[in-house]
Structure 1
């Protein structure tokens, strides 16, 4: 559970969330590519990437003088599995809400 809390905490920041989405869409990217269009310094992006690495959501490899980042599938898999495990709860709650709405709509006015 601690791993999930760390992952959700890391993703609660809009910049980190957008970095993860960008990596999911584009695949591997250098730190320089991740800076583009964000209006942030390299140091700021590095701090965000460190949080994402520590949360197990991204991985880093070195290519010459570049740091290349990509998604850590296991970290996202843990989030997906947790979300899917809660599906029954949400479906049951939505079914009960639907039943309540239907019963209120069938009351005579």
Structure 2
């Protein structure tokens, strides 16, 4: 991960938890209030707020308070940084497999000279 800033580690840490991944998936559909986000999870609000804190400190979500209502929004650019890391890894491995296919073809071609 030498090409990426260390904070990307916090994104992967945040996404390692199924509750936090579910929140990110839900926010992919649009902003939601904390109470709406918390409804599906069998935990108290303080525990859920800790999950939101991890997502926010990783830069994956932003929260805005209006009166007594706190609304969360997905920070898609931050999520895209993690996606780019996976894309880079996928491209690297695809290149390695292409090189291996070329090598195997070359080796196979030399062994069958009649």
Q: Given the two structures, how large is their TM-score scaled by the length of structure 2? A: 0.77
Unaligned runs of 5+ in 1: 104-109
**Cα distance, 1:51 vs structure 2:** 0.4
2:68 alignment partner in structure 1: 65
Larger radius of gyration: 2
How many residue pairs get matched? 101
Kindly indicate which of the two structures has a greater share of residues assigned to helix: 1
1:107 maps to none
Calculate the TM-score normalised by the size of structure 1. 0.80
Q: For structure 2, which runs of at least 5 residues remain unmatched after alignment?
A: 108-114
Runs of 4+ in structure 1 off by over 3 angstroms are 93-97
Equivalent residue for 2:36? 33
**1:1-109 pair list within 5 angstroms:** 1-24=5-28, 26-95=29-98, 96=100
Partners of 2:30 and 2:89 in 1: CA distance: 28
Q: Deviation of residue 90 (structure 1)?
A: 2.1
RMSD: 2.2
